[in-house]
Structure formats: structure tokens, C-alpha cells
Amino acid sequence: KQEVTQIPAALSVPEGENLVLNCSFTDSAIYNLQWFRQDPGKGLTSLLLIQSSQREQTSGRLNASLDKSSGRSTLYIAASQPGDSATYLCAVTFTGAQKLVFGQGTRLTINP
Amino acid sequence: DVKVTQSSRYLVKRTGEKVFLECVQDMDHENMFWYRQDPGLGLRLIYFSYDVKMKEKGDIPEGYSVSREKKERFSLILESASTNQTSMYLCASSRGQGLLNEQFFGPGTRLTVL
């Protein structure tokens, strides 16, 4: 079964720290992987999309990496701020599935 | 910027009512999607559409139908609402042929069925 897992479910760090969020997936045959942010009670905001041929993507303080062979992606957040507090979701399009499969998310809290 | 809007942020309906959830996107995207999000279950795909008047079932289509009469609008219909359809409903869109491009989401509709 094609699944996406995010561990830990929740993470709390002091402001200013660099941090890494993890995403693992069960099948290395993927089209792409997308990271989203979700604030409480709101919709999803797309952060980064990595195609299967790419190793990483960067946007501002965010950097996402992709290692298909190990079935892993990481989202690196530099110099974290309280405004980064949100739930971060990873989603994968597996080859042949033609749809996004979502992880359960990591709820991130940045403490001032 | 892509903008996906949903007709209501919060909706309260009674069991047995017919419910319409509307989604509009302004970027001429070919593909549109309806998901529901529940604690512990994550996001699950209900239906998607890759063209006007075209629709495909997702993972949990039972109890739902959809309509796409215009490219920019995708409607989710609950023919006879039930309490187990209480959930957060999220609409998304993406461009291009196939379903492999970046998806952009709306703000969500929190539906409560009493």
C-alpha cells in the first residue's frame, strides 16, 4: 500500500533554531512530492513542490530535499519564527496513482 | 497568485438536507479536487475533475456527487446529508494535462450536520 508518514506528530522548539521536518513514503516510484502548511481551521498553503527528477527546492528560509531511493523527504526551516507555527503536511504523487497521498502532518510550535 | 475560493467558511445543516458546496478558481486550471479532512484520518480525496463535465471518483465518493459545468467552478453535492459527513471540506485546483502539477487549496468549509 502506498503510504506517507510524518514523524513526529508534534514538535516544539525555541525561536531562532534551525529545524528539520521529516516525511517518509513507502514506494520510491513517485512523480513528485509537495509540502504544505496549514494554520488552525484554515486551508492548505503550498510551500514547495519537488519533481521526481529533482533533489531539492528552496524558497526563502525553507529548503526541501528528496531522496527517492530511501523514500524520504525533509523540510528544513532556518531561523525559525513564532509565525512558522502551523501544521506541515507532506503529500506524494505515486506513479500510476495520479493523486496526492497525504501524511498526517507535523504540528510545529515555535516558542518566543 | 492562484486564488481558490469556497462559498462558505462554516455551514450547519440538518440530517437529510441536500447540501451544495461551491468552489471557484480564477487561474484557468484544468483540474479541480474535493477532499475532506478529519482528525486522525488526514486528507482524503472524494472526487476530482480534469475537464468540464468530466469527473472521477476518489477514495471515498460514497454519499457525494459533483458537478463541473464551467471550467472555473466545481461543486460538491451531498444528496442527503448525514452526521458522518460532518467534516472540513477542502477544494483544490491544478493546471495542465494530467494531475501531476502543484495543487492550490481553498480556505475550507467546515460543515456540521446535526
| pLDDT greater than 70 at residue B2 | no
pLDDT tens digits, residue range B4-38? 999 999 999 999 999 999 999 999 999 999 999 99
The confidence score (pLDDT) of residue B110 equals 96
- B60 has which bridge partners? none
To test the contact with chain A by mutation, choose from B103, B104, B111, B112 the residue with the greatest count of A C-beta atoms within 10 A, namely B103
Ramachandran assignment for B112, one of left (phi > 0), alpha (psi -120 to 50 degrees), beta (any other): beta
Residues of B with CB below 8 A from A1's CB? none
Question: What is the distance between the alpha carbons of residues B29 and B44, in angstroms, rounded to a whole number?
Answer: 21
**Mean of the pLDDT values across residues A2-30?**
95
Ramachandran assignment for B50, one of left (phi > 0), alpha (psi -120 to 50 degrees), beta (any other): alpha
The confidence score (pLDDT) of residue B93 equals 94
Residues 34-53 of B with CB under 8 A from A: 40, 42-43, 45, 48
Identify the closest residue of chain B to A95 by CA–CA distance. B100
What are the two backbone dihedrals, phi and then psi, of residue A70, each rounded to the nearest 5 degrees? -95, -5
The confidence score (pLDDT) of residue A76 equals 98
pLDDT tens digits, residue range B35-68? 999 998 889 999 999 999 999 999 999 999 999 9
The confidence score (pLDDT) of residue B98 equals 63
Mind telling me how many Å the CA of B85 is from chain A's nearest CA? 17
To test the contact with chain B by mutation, choose from A25, A37, A93, A100 the residue with the greatest count of B C-beta atoms within 10 A, namely A100
Question: What is the distance between the alpha carbons of residues B44 and A48, in angstroms, rounded to a whole number?
Answer: 20
Residues of A with CB below 8 A from B90's CB? 43-44
The confidence score (pLDDT) of residue A28 equals 87
Take residue A105 and report the three cell numbers written for it. 502532518
Distance of CA A80 to the CA centre of its chain: 15
Question: What is the distance between the alpha carbons of residues A71 and A58, in angstroms, rounded to a whole number?
Answer: 20
pLDDT tens digits, residue range B66-111? 999 999 999 999 999 999 999 999 999 998 766 678 899 999 999 9
Residues of A with CB below 8 A from B8's CB? none
Nearest to B89 by CA among B102, B75, B99: B75
Residues of B with CB below 8 A from A100's CB? 43, 45, 103
